[in-house]
Amino acid sequence: MSGICVAILLRDAGITDVTIFEKAADLGGTWRDNTYPGLYCDVPSRFYQFSFAKNPRWSQVFSPGAEIHAYFRRVAERYRVVEQIRFSTEVVRAELDGDQWRVITSTAEEKRVDFLISATGILHHPRVPSIPGLETFAGSAFHSARWDHRADLDGKRVAVVGTGSTGVQIVCGLAGRAAKVELYQRTAQWVIPFKNRPYGRLVRTAHTVLPWLDDLGYARVRRQLGFFARALIAPGWRRRTLDRACRKNLDSVTDPQLRRRLTPTYEPMCKRLIVSSGFYDAMQRPDVELVTDDIDHVEPGGIVTSDGVLHEVDVIALATGFDTHAFVRPVQLVGRGGVTLDELWQEGPFGYLTVAVPQFPNFFMLLGPHSPVGNYSLTSISETQGTHVVNWIKRWQRREFDSVVPTDEATAAFNESIRAAMPGTIWVTGCDSWYLGKDGVPELWPWTPEEHRRRLLAEPPRSDFDFQVGSATRPAKSL
């Protein structure tokens, strides 16, 4: 998604010598890889789209994954991004060579470019738990992002391992279809019941004929998510309002024992909040069971929990999330003086203003460390970051510099300001989540998305950067 976005922004700026390396055979990132039952985006579609390419014909408030994938494909074709993509071409290494980057693919092909942009996403590398005996299971077992559509689910016994957004969506998608669904819960989650109402033909037609309605819808959802963002970063009535909504939703579970087992031990929104109006209904069905005992091991016939019970199942779906700290890795990135990104990030990922990394000149990241990704539209964040990157490249075209990189001091100051602003945010109230770094400190933007946009679109402080100017030879204009 973010690669498509920045390619379009570059083209709009007149920069067309752009190559996009895509290791898969199709575009779409998350929406290509995830095809599990019940999949939808938990950000309203009116805002989960590019501001310059609005879709007036979304089918519902929270659109299904296949519809979102189709949207990104249409946008890429409309703006001729597809012509710039090298499919099935994986980048394995990129190293700084003078003022240029030397990019090396898995087929040993090399390409020299002036700017290197990482648009690899954050929910990309599946995290598969080390469950003893998993490889001995006689049925089908797979990660949710590698869904095996050959597996027969109708009338089968399905185990769903994991209770994040993916696990919740799979349970809702399979309840009533599978003979039995068992949800294996390590940590209970807070759920907010936003209704996923469909858009009728009249609404879709009106948005098609009157584009300003799309603009209003985009702005309205942005304001609503801004309300949510303020609840995350500071105590007050907004946080109390969402807290009450989550707790009231939980009260819809009528069985007190089930409700107790579904009750989290931390504050709402400390983890990423789950959006579902049907989860608690699904969990109260007779053919859906909540399992809270730890998984001890897997046998050919099913899952054995810590109480010694064998749960006989036909399919195991691992909704166990992703390595959210990988970013551009496992690409080997080598910057100034031979320093590698792995060496720089030994204690965890960090960067400058969510888009740049010290010691790596003319390298930018979309959805990089500390981006405001908590329950917000990543298309909007990518658009802001992409515009920031394009502004740098336009300055390079005007020969203001040959290379630019944030200083160590500016990067350290930025990261210290993040830490200083973290107290008061909901993420430090006591929970374990993928938001946390090795030191237990959240790795998120502790201010509003509006502040992120303001800072990235403003003129960057010159003192925060190391500029190299006056190269003897001017490199080619390629990215």
What CATH number is associated with residue 353?
Answer: 3.50.50.60
Listed residues 292, 318, 344: the one ending a domain: 318
Instruction: In whole angstroms, give the CA distance from residue 367 to residue 468.
Output: 26
pLDDT of residue 254: 97
Is residue 184 in some structural domain? yes
In a domain, 207, yes or no: no
User: What does the pLDDT read at residue 472?
Assistant: 40
The H or E element containing residue 364 is strand 363-365
Q: Do 451 and 371 fall into the same domain?
A: yes
- pLDDT in the model for residue 49: 97
Alpha-helix runs per DSSP H in 110-236: 165-174, 201-209, 211-233
Query: Taking the chain (479 residues) in consecutive chunks of 10 residues, what is each chunk's mean pLDDT?
Result: 97 96 95 96 96 96 97 97 96 95 94 97 88 97 96 96 96 97 97 95 95 94 92 94 96 98 96 94 98 97 97 97 86 96 94 97 96 90 97 96 97 96 93 84 92 94 92 48
Kindly state whether residues 27 and 171 are assigned to the same domain: no
Same domain, 47 and 17: yes
Query: Counting runs of H as helices and runs of E as strands, what totals does the chain give?
Result: 13, 20
| Together in a domain, 121 and 139 | no
Give 85's strand partners. 20
**390 inside domain:** yes
Inter-axis angle of helices 378-397 and 449-457, nearest 10: 10
User: 103, 95, 79, 93: which is closest to 27 by C-alpha?
Assistant: 79
pLDDT at 479: 60
**Same-domain check for residues 99 and 146:** no
Query: What pLDDT shows up at residue 474?
Result: 45
259 and 312 in one domain? yes
Are residues 85 and 16 part of one domain?
yes
The neighbour count for residue 51, using CB atoms within 10 Å, is 14
* Beta-bridge mates of residue 74: none
Look at residue 16 and tell me if it is in a domain: yes
Paired residues of 304 in beta bridges: 297, 310
Q: Which helix (H) or strand (E) holds 305?
A: strand 302-305
Amino acid at 211: P
Q: Answer yes or no: is 199 within a domain.
A: no
- Is there a single domain that holds both residue 276 and residue 423? no
Please list, in sequence order, all residues whose beta carbon lies within 8 angstroms of the beta carbon of residue 134, skipping any fewer than 6 positions away. 141, 298, 316
Q: Identity (one letter) of the amino acid at 352?
A: Y
Strand segments, DSSP code E, in 56-156 are 85-86, 91-97, 100-105, 110-113, 116-118, 140-143
Residues 253-292 as b or e (16 or more Cβ within 10 Å = b): beeeeebeebebebbbbbbbbbbbbbbbebbbeeebebbe
Residue 265 lies in a domain: yes
Whether 209 is covered by a domain: the verdict is no
DSSP annotation string for 411-440:
HHHHHHHHHHH-TTSGGGSS---TTB-TTS
Domain that includes residue 99, residue range: 2-125+323-468
Residues 418 and 292 in one domain: no
CA angle 289, 295, 297 (to 5 degrees): 125
Assign 73 to helix, strand or coil. helix
Q: Which of 296, 318, 340 is the last residue of a domain?
A: 318
Please indicate, yes or no, whether residues 121 and 20 belong to a single structural domain of this protein.
yes
Report yes or no on 385 lying in a domain: yes
Answer with the one of 301, 318, 335 that is the final residue of a domain.
318
Burial class of residue 200 (count of CB atoms within 10 Å of its CB; 0-12, 13-18, 19+): exposed
pLDDT at residue 473, rounded to an integer: 41
What local confidence, expressed as pLDDT, does residue 123 receive?
81
User: What local confidence, expressed as pLDDT, does residue 57 receive?
Assistant: 96
Our count of domains for the chain comes to: 2
Question: Are 351 and 423 members of one domain?
Answer: yes
pTM: 0.94
Residue 100 sits in the same domain as residue 180: no
